[in-house]
């Protein structure tokens, strides 16, 4: 027998689970459908960095909201996110200093606790970091990282407590319409009816959008991370995004450091999300290791213990599509976060819920992320040449 709901959400990653939580908290009957398990897609392999360094007012406000949730997660959501506060540093090249200063001014203007630090001040925050090529850095004392599995599971459990029904191993095969209105979905197990369907399928988002007859510019791209074991003499350190060496690194539990690249070329690593190499390549390990050592020479003492590859759902401007597609159909999309989804997810859940309920005064207006911006040539821009930074 077909089951009827107010909203069907496709995809139980962090975005889908956060949105289900916020919708069900408002009393809506929600079905959350996932073709594998909670967080089995890109979320589970996220680097899970939590930071507020964005260069648009909206994304900065969303990051601030999300940071507050991570700092008060048990009270706000329930359960454990594994959030660890280490501080967050951004290093940029001299030609990007004006952009860095503008970003800090914007962020402070919306209430973010961030500052510019001199090279001398940087020595107090992160001793032994190489500073001779830096003029200044941006620093957020509240930043850090979380556990993607713990966070997503906590959101799913919170949604369940408010009435969301979660269906795992349930692969959506079609979105059903009557005339121009959505009426439900077909899956490998059973059919579900609802007047609203939300596509939170991440790297599979373009495939799901096609079920609604819409082509969206979202590419499923392979991204790699690698882990190094630090000797006992090297303690935990802040999260670092180093635009000069196009790399990032953060502490991880077990005296580890997790490293990756901040590289727009990752948008060219398009793969089939159901069939891609999930292992890290030795050439990548060598490359990112050299970049990190250039910034933090003591990392040369560390031992590599391998890594893995995950997925980004990347759009042309590295920002998501959050919209109703087709317009007026009851079929919505909230995906294409290009690596930003985890850190923004607490706010995205609010944004998506407001969009579906038609809130007259949404906390976060989704207009910036409308699908039509591509046809309008009005892409989301940042202060840096690196749109990947947000």
Confidence of residue 156 (pLDDT cuts 50, 70, 90): very high
Q: What is the pLDDT of residues 68-82, one digit of tens each?
A: 999 999 999 999 999
Annotate 84-148 with three-state secondary structure: EECCEEEECCHHHHHHHHHHHHHHHHCCCCCEEEEHHHHHHHCCCCCCCCCCEEEEECCCEECCH
Confidence of residue 306 (pLDDT cuts 50, 70, 90): very high
CB atoms within 10 A of CB 251: 21
Tell me what pLDDT residue 124 has: 93
Tell me what pLDDT residue 384 has: 59
How remote is the C-alpha of 387 from its chain's centroid? 14
**Domains along the chain?**
3-45+149-218+317-389 (3.50.50.60), 87-142+219-314 (3.30.9.10)
Residues of the chain with pLDDT > 70, as a percent, come to 98
Tell me what pLDDT residue 381 has: 83
Tell me what pLDDT residue 267 has: 78
pTM above 0.95, yes or no: yes
Tell me what pLDDT residue 3 has: 85
* HSE-up of residue 299 (Cα within 13 Å, Cβ side): 25
pLDDT at 129 over 90: yes
Tell me what pLDDT residue 97 has: 85
Bridge partners of 242, per DSSP, are: 91, 247
Q: What is the pLDDT of residues 342-371, one digit of tens each?
A: 999 999 999 999 999 999 999 999 999 999
Tell me what pLDDT residue 40 has: 95
Determine which of 50-54, 61-65, 85-89, 378-382 has the lowest per-residue pLDDT on average: 378-382
Element (H, E) at 3: strand 3-4
Tell me what pLDDT residue 95 has: 82
pLDDT at 89 over 80: yes
Is there a contact between 291 and 240 (Cβ–Cβ < 8 Å)? no
> 384 versus 265: which is more confidently predicted?
265
CA nearest to 306, candidates 224, 184, 197: 224
CB atoms within 10 A of CB 231: 10
How remote is the C-alpha of 19 from its chain's centroid? 14
Tell me what pLDDT residue 265 has: 84
> 360 versus 390: which is more confidently predicted?
360
Tell me what pLDDT residue 174 has: 98
Q: State the Cα–Cα distance between residues 373 and 324, nearest whole angstrom.
A: 13
Q: State the Cα–Cα distance between residues 293 and 137, nearest whole angstrom.
A: 18
Confidence of residue 96 (pLDDT cuts 50, 70, 90): confident
Please give the DSSP secondary-structure letter assigned to residue 326. Answer: S
For helices 57-71 and 97-109, angle between their N-to-C axes, nearest 10 degrees: 60
Bridge partners of 249, per DSSP, are: 240, 259
Q: State the Cα–Cα distance between residues 54 and 69, nearest whole angstrom.
A: 17
Task: Find all residues with CB under 8 Å of 334, minimum gap 6, and list them.
Answer: 15, 19, 198, 199, 200, 320, 321, 322, 348, 351, 352, 355
CB atoms within 10 A of CB 264: 15
Q: What is the pLDDT of residues 180-204, one digit of tens each?
A: 999 999 999 999 999 999 999 999 9
Average pLDDT of 214-227? 97
Tell me what pLDDT residue 229 has: 97
Q: What is the pLDDT of residues 262-305, one digit of tens each?
A: 988 887 999 999 999 999 999 999 999 999 999 999 999 999 99
pLDDT at 390 over 70: no
Determine which of 133-142, 251-260, 262-271 has the lowest per-residue pLDDT on average: 262-271
- Hey, what's the torsion of the CAs at 148, 171, 22, 205, to 10 degrees? 70
Q: Can you read off the two tokens belonging to residue 379? A: 């892409």
Task: Find all residues with CB under 8 Å of 217, minimum gap 6, and list them.
Answer: 206, 315, 316, 374
Determine which of 72-86, 118-132, 217-231 has the lowest per-residue pLDDT on average: 118-132
**Cα Rg of the chain (Å, integer):** 21
Average pLDDT, the chain: 95
């Amino acid at each position: 027998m077909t089951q009827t709901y107010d909203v069907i959400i496709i995809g139980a990653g962090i975005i889908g689970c956060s949105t289900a939580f916020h919708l069900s908290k408002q009393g809506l009957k929600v079905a959350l459908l996932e073709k594998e398990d909670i967080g089995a897609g890109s979320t589970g392999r996220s680097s899970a960095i939590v930071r507020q360094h964005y260069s648009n007012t909206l994304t900065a406000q969303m990051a601030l909201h999300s940071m507050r949730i991570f700092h008060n997660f048990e009270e706000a959501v329930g359960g454990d996110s594994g959030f660890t506060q280490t501080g967050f540093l951004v290093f940029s090249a001299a030609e990007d200093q004006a952009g860095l200063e503008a970003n800090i001014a914007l962020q402070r203007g919306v209430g973010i606790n961030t500052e510019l630090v001199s090279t001398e001040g940087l020595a107090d925050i992160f001793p032994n970091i190489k500073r001779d090529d830096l003029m200044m850095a941006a620093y957020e004392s509240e930043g850090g990282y979380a556990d993607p599995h713990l966070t997503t599971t906590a959101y799913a459990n919170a949604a369940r407590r408010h009435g969301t029904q979660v269906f795992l191993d349930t692969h959506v095969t079609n979105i059903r319409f009557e005339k121009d209105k959505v009426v439900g979905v077909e899956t490998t197990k059973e059919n579900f009816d609802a007047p609203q369907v939300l596509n939170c399928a991440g790297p599979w988002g373009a495939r799901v959008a096609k079920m609604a007859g819409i082509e969206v510019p979202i590419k499923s791209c392979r991204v790699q991370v690698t882990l190094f074991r630090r000797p006992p003499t090297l303690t935990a350190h802040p999260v670092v995004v180093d635009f000069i060496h196009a790399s990032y690194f953060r502490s991880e539990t077990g005296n580890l450091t997790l490293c990756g690249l901040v590289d727009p070329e990752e948008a060219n690593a398009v793969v089939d999300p159901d069939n891609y190499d999930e292992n890290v390549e030795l050439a990548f390990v060598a490359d990112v290791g050299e970049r990190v050592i250039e910034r933090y020479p003591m990392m040369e003492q560390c031992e590599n213990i391998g890594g893995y590859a995950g997925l980004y759902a990347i759009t042309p401007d590295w920002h998501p599509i959050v919209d109703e597609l087709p317009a007026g159909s009851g079929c919505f999309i909230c995906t294409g976060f290009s690596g930003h989804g985890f850190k923004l997810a607490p706010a995205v859940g609010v944004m998506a819920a407001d969009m579906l309920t038609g809130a007259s005064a949404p906390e976060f207006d989704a207009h910036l992320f409308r699908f039509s911006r591509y046809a309008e040539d009005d892409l989301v821009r940042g202060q840096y040449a690196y749109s990947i930074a947000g």
